[in-house]
Amino acid sequence: MYVMNLPIMLYDDTCKLCHRFARTVDALASGRLTIVGHYTPEGKRIREEILDDAATEMFWVIDKRGAYGGRAAILPLIRSILTTKGGLGMSHDDAKCSDACSIFLRSYSLITHSKHISFDAPRRNI
């Protein structure tokens, strides 16, 4: 099992718009934030360990306090971009993007979807 330090951003790596968003975040964070696709082996493990079945409907930021999805992840994401120093960045060749992703559907889901999962005790890694 591979251990990743927090924070981590989890995104839909089958969606072109989501992949562009993740690449933008990676550039803003200068590769210091670990960014993982939902459908990679690491992403599947994180979803099974921490998140629920609806996790793929939105992007997530997982930090030492909890997991934040969709709208609730925006402020933790900004905080992570500004403060994270030891992440792994993003592997750009892992994306399996399709043209089927609708910009309107993804934009709508960002506005309507929001979730926060608190951890019982602060975590340093997953």
**Residue ranges of the domains in the chain?**
8-118
Whole-angstrom distance, CA of residue 75 vs CA of residue 2 = 27
Q: What is the pLDDT of residue 85?
A: 82
pLDDT at 125 over 70: no
Q: pTM of the full predicted structure?
A: 0.79
Beta strands in 12-102 (DSSP E): 34-37, 60-62, 66-70
pLDDT at 99 over 60: no
Contact call for residues 50 and 23 (beta carbons, < 8 A): no
pLDDT band of 89, cuts 50, 70, 90 = confident
